[in-house]
Structure 1
Amino acid sequence: MNSQMLNRKSLKEQVRDILFDRIISGELAPGDRVKIVPIAESLQVSQAPVREAIQCLVTSGYLEQHPNVGVKVKAFTKQDVREICHVRKLLEADSLGSVTPEDGRRLADVLDGHLKGIIEAVEAQSFTAYALHDTRFHRCLVEASGNAKMLAMWDSLLIPRLVVMTIRELGVTMDSLIPLHVPIVARLREGDVGGAVAALLAHYTFLKG
């Protein structure tokens, strides 16, 4: 692993973010072992913040502990991806459908910022940046419902990791995914919530491959 500079703000959080980026980018692939000592040496930090960062990622589901083996990057099957994608669609469509036209227009302004982030990530050809901005875009749809339990369920689905897996499994380019987001924002800006939901459902129809 390449050495990366760390600042003084919460070493645990910085190490966690570095490992998270490596998982999302694929540098750490499903099934790879995550060893404390090599990571600590590559980042020039003590083992304590690395151990804490790894535990955070185990707790959040990106890593998993294997008895007598150690910690590995969690692997997802194609069936896992399909099932989680279906749950996402249900949560997001129901949440988006619950907003008023006025709230939808306000939501469009927020989504537009995330859409710009998606476009910049595509221009930079960054899978990691795309996954994070796409996650923020879709999370806003659920957050707009005001239903904390639905949002907590959505947050538990490990979306950034699955965004990258879905792209690679479909064999599509990131730039081909931008048009899937644009009509959602456009319909909301017009106050057409039903049209926005239809655009979202079309998005997921495309992702079914």
Structure 2
Amino acid sequence: MSRGVSRRSVGHRVRVWPRVRASLAVLTAVALLAGCTPTDDSGPPGPDGPANAVLSVTTIGSRLPSSTRNRLESQVSDVLAAYVVGAFLGDYPRQDFLGGFDRFTSGAAKLAVADIDALTASGFEKVTAVRATRLDARLSFLAPDDRAVGASAWVDFAFDVAQGGSTVKVRLTGRLALGLVDGTWAVFGYSLVRDDSDALPVEVSSS
């Protein structure tokens, strides 16, 4: 099972706790709206390490009504949280990282599989744990007549990857392009730079 994602009702943040076991399908369906009651998945960090960073999203350059903006931020946060959990977090040792692409379109997922070592933690050996140290995203929505049809998420994600008695710092920055597929947000493109503390930066793009 994947490491849990617990959404709190203060602002637009997603708390990623270590060692909270829950279904990812259920977790990503939880709305991130102010005034909601925290889910049963909320709780203190596990005894084996500090909590992960908070997924913080901010919408830029938007004149959308606040209620619409809150709803869209919640929906896109679900997509970003699903990617972070499936691609980097979870219970280690693990070998299946394809779950990170569950919220990608079929075309983007096929391209992402070819870039899996850059887009996930799959390229590391003997990993014992991965902790998120920064999960920031700035969102911009394409919303003619206040109806969102597309979005861009400029992300700045950082992780500590523990392996073989040492820790590698990983930073993932760039843009995820999202659209609505049958009424559900999905990633259809990406342009990201992966920078590890022990390797040269790698740039990957779906184009």
TM class by shorter chain equals: under 0.3
The higher relative CO (CA closer than 8 Å, separation ≥ 6) is in 1
Considering fraction of residues, name the structure with more strand.
2
Structure with bigger gyration radius = 1
**TM-score scaled by structure 2?**
0.28
**TM-score scaled by structure 1?**
0.27
Considering fraction of residues, name the structure with more helix.
1
